[in-house]
Amino acid sequence: MSMENKIRYLTCGYCSTGCNMIIKFDDKGKPIVRANLDYPVNQGKACPKGFQLLSHLNVDDRATTPYIRDHENRFIPITWEAALQEFVGNFKRIQNNYGKNSIAFISTGQITNEEHAFLGALAKFGMGMIHGDGNTRQCMATSVVAYKQSFGWDAPPFTYEDLEKSDVMIFFGSNAAISHPVIWWRIQNNLNDPTVVVIDPRKTETATDEITSLYYPIKAKSELYLLYTIANILIQNNWVDGEFVNTHTSGFKEFKKHIAKYTLESTARKTGISEEQISKLAEIIHKGKAVSFWWMVGVNQAHQGTRTAQALINLALMTGNIGKPGTGPNSITGQCNAMGARIFSNTTALLGGYDFTKESDRNTVAKILGIDSGVIPHVNSASYEKILEKIKEGKIKGLWVVCTNPAHSWINSNEFPEIVENLEYLVVQDMYYTTETAQLANLILPAAGTGEKDGTFVNSERRIGLLQKVLDPPGEALSDFDIFNRVADTWGCSHLFKRWTNPESAFQVIKKLTKGKPWDFSGIESYQMILDHGGIQWPYPSSKNKKTDTYRRLFDDGVFYHEDGKAQFLYDDILPYPEEINQDYPFILITGRGNISTWHTHTRTGKVPLLARKLPKDPYIEISTTDAKNLGIEENQWVQVSSRRDKIKVKALIGGRVKEGEVFMPMHYKETNKLTFPIFDEYSREPGYKFAAVQVKKDFEPI
Ligand SMILES: Nc1nc2c(c(=O)[nH]1)N[C@H]1C(S)=C(S)[C@@H](COP(=O)(O)OP(=O)(O)OC[C@H]3O[C@@H](n4cnc5c(=O)[nH]c(N)nc54)[C@H](O)[C@@H]3O)O[C@H]1N2
Ligand SMILES: Nc1nc2c(c(=O)[nH]1)N[C@H]1C(S)=C(S)[C@@H](COP(=O)(O)OP(=O)(O)OC[C@H]3O[C@@H](n4cnc5c(=O)[nH]c(N)nc54)[C@H](O)[C@@H]3O)O[C@H]1N2
Ligand code: SF4
Ligand SMILES: [Mo]
């Protein structure tokens, strides 16, 4: 394809910040990536991953053709036609032998809206699956459930402009300086001399950044004590916005009663934060004119994540910090299209935010899509970990994994290969044939990546952004969209997708699914319109009174989505630590992002020298100076880290980021999840990646 002299616009395919890049081409047709100066999200900025957005596309281990595993366990290249026959033949055989529900899919937050909707509709309406979930369960499920329960809809209220309008910002369980760098850098535009508070068990890059005013080194998993106590102090001092609470919320009286028992003295002990510091934080919140609470997976990935997120929501509600510039209980999303997955993945909710179990909802969706409502399942999917359980029990025998690498990223990951042993057929659709999960597959389908396809993403501030194709995918690789089209053809259900000829025509169909919902963006006329506006935030209904300003937040009218129009105060008793810390396993293992340049399971960033060099080749564990000294461990020494599940060998990185009694490993090494403890939040079923009991030793035991 000749692209010379053409300009392309590409929303970044890494994090959910949703930066936009301009791609120009040099004389030889080589693309040059620049940050888009005019885009309201990034305003000419980007992090290292964004600038390297196309660098992992042309590499040796790209899957450039479908591969099938032969009897000697070798991967053999085959044609698309043969691959599709294999896929469909095996999945249909499994359904014939074990029933319709014996096949399932696991997806992602990193494909486009059009692809999400296509996969979900194809799998559930075309191929007859009931069960399908995504890696967003590992990431955002807690925020989704927290908002749904508190507001009546999954509706993150903020806009990035709030980072510039707040005078108090509290970052809770978020290492934004490396996870969402451009969001974090937006605070530099804030002219209010804001107080930025970082609450994290680790003294992270965010905690030590020059933007940060105060750092609270909270003990891991003690945050509910802190948040309930602060609520209690606000009440004791009469620092509550009574008018807002009375008019716009419900459940406050009961909440007040529930939290009365959380006092400064015991909370200081539980959290490791002094009484003075706790009181000071309550006062900062009270004195702030526009206070915003920002959280991420340090909150979400916990055994009481939903209630923790809601404890932050409660603080915003009781102080009236919502719906006004610079305020909000604001959950930042993770992957480039995690928000789109929330609307279109057809996993937990029926496409567009409808309900599988309601006949009227099924009829509405069927009408919009122009299909028979009889093909839509009447029941909800099992959650991710329950799908794996069903595989273990032999109830699910065929699995289709799209754009995720669970053999590395799933909690207690040793189990994953054992679990998939029970499958009769595993299909993995990825850009590379080398991922840990692809290596377990019976069939690998070669997918195009961001930069090689058209479509749309939705970012953390609810902005729909455009991706334009810059390069052709290599060899026989196809966009996920095109793969779904071919699967539909081979399966014999392409009549359901007559209007889905290309991504933009699919967009025209799926936007209608949002009509009348809080995330209505049916007013977007075309891809060109998205480009012209610099992305468009939902809601953007087709009615005349749509708002067109650059930044928009929700709830400026104080009306929430519950039937009574009110937001709810939600809370629970605080549960003990998920796994016992004792003499044998005396340390708390925290896991998370390691640096600005490394992405998840490192399949993309690992191939770009400029990014890859940020992550040490050998897996490492961060341990405090005191603990290292007590254990006689020296810097860079190999140590053994064991949990109740496995033992691994890693290098010791000694220093001040972690406190005594806590250790940290980045999730980017496949060893990390061998140790994590499989516990799930009661409401969201999100895994608690950030707490496991471990032992660290300089002597090795036989493994
Ligand atoms: N460079 C880079 N950026 C990324 C990603 C990446 O892989 N690399 N991934 C993207 C995705 S999908 C996501 S979900 C986001 C994640 O973005 P973040 O949430 O910022 O990432 P994490 O490092 O997993 O966790 C955040 C912090 O939570 C803290 N934490 C752990 N336990 C607790 C606790 O009990 N209480 C509190 N208050 N804090 C706790 C950890 O110490 C950590 O610093 O990043 C996105 N951006
Ligand atoms: N211990 C621990 N584990 C964690 C976390 C943690 O904090 N601690 N965080 C969790 C979180 S928040 C997340 S989001 C997950 C992420 O976990 P994963 O989703 O497993 O991680 P990725 O490496 O992003 O995997 C995406 C895969 O899709 C491929 N890919 C990229 N683009 C495309 C495309 O356009 N199409 C197709 N078909 N394939 C593509 C990539 O090559 C890669 O193999 O990890 C979770 N695991
Ligand atoms: S901040 Fe996120 S969206 Fe922006 S360039 Fe970096 S990875 Fe891409
Ligand atoms: Mo995530």
Q: So where are the chain's domains? A: 67-138+337-464+473-501, 141-331, 587-697
> Ligand 3 mean position to 20 CA, how many Å?
9
Q: Ligand 3, from 9, 14, 54, 178: best to mutate by most atoms within 8 Å of Cβ? A: 14
User: What's the pLDDT score for residue 703?
Assistant: 58
Q: Which atom of ligand 2 is nearest to the CA of 108?
A: 19
> Ligand 4 mean position to 229 CA, how many Å?
29
Tokens of 601: 């399971």
For 38-94, write each residue's pLDDT tens digit. 999 999 999 999 999 999 999 999 999 999 999 999 999 999 999 999 999 999 999
Q: Are 281 and 216 in contact (CB under 8 A)?
A: yes
What pTM was computed for the model?
A: 0.97
Residues 6+ apart with CB under 8 A from 528: none
> Ligand 3 mean position to 432 CA, how many Å?
22
The superfamily in CATH containing domain 141-331 is Dimethylsulfoxide Reductase, domain 2 (3.40.228.10)
Residue 434 exposed, middle or buried by CB count within 10 Å (0-12, 13-18, 19+): middle
Angle at CA of residue 303, ends 300 and 307, nearest 5°: 65
User: What's the pLDDT score for residue 702?
Assistant: 64
What CATH number should be reported for the domain whose range is 587-697? 2.40.40.20
Q: Cβ < 6 Å from ligand 1: which residues? A: 15, 139, 172-176, 178-180, 199-202, 204, 218, 220-221, 223, 296-298, 334-335, 590, 592-593, 596, 598-600, 690
Strand partners, 427: 400, 443
Q: Ligand 2, from 204, 410, 430: best to mutate by most atoms within 8 Å of Cβ? A: 430
> Ligand 1 mean position to 297 CA, how many Å?
5
CA torsion, ordered 682, 684, 687, 691, to nearest 10 deg: -60
Task: Give nearest CA residue, ligand 3 atom 4.
Answer: 19
* CA 463/CA 236 separation, integer angstroms: 39
Tokens of 30: 């080589």
Q: Cβ < 6 Å from ligand 3: which residues? A: 12, 14-15, 17-19, 42, 46-47, 49-50, 180-182
Task: Give nearest CA residue, ligand 2 atom 2.
Answer: 667
Q: Cβ < 6 Å from ligand 2: which residues? A: 108, 110-111, 135, 138-139, 297, 301, 334-335, 402-406, 409, 429-432, 435, 447, 449-450, 480, 591-592, 600-601, 603-604, 667, 672-673, 676, 689
Cis peptide upstream of residue 586 (ω within 30 degrees of 0)? no
Residues 6+ apart with CB under 8 A from 242: none
What CATH number should be reported for the domain whose range is 67-138+337-464+473-501? 3.40.50.740
The secondary structure of the chain in percent helix, strand, coil, rounded to multiples of 5, reads: 35, 20, 50
User: What's the pLDDT score for residue 5?
Assistant: 61
Tokens of 6: 């053409």
Q: Which atom of ligand 2 is nearest to the CA of 409?
A: 47
Is the CA virtual torsion 660, 662, 668, 673 positive or negative? positive
Same fold, 67-138+337-464+473-501 and 587-697: no
Give the number of whichever ligand sits closest to the CA of residue 578: 1
Annotate 571-600 with b (16+ C-beta within 10 A) or e (fewer). Answer: beebeeebbeeeeebebbbbbbbbbbbbbb
Task: Give nearest CA residue, ligand 2 atom 17.
Answer: 409
> Ligand 4 mean position to 463 CA, how many Å?
18
For 478-505, write each residue's pLDDT tens digit. 999 999 999 999 999 999 999 999 999 9
Give CA separation, 544 vs 148, 250, 527, in Å. 28, 33, 20
The segments of the chain whose pLDDT lies below 70 read: 1-5, 544-545, 702-703
> Ligand 4 mean position to 112 CA, how many Å?
16
> Ligand 4 mean position to 461 CA, how many Å?
16
User: What's the pLDDT score for residue 543?
Assistant: 78
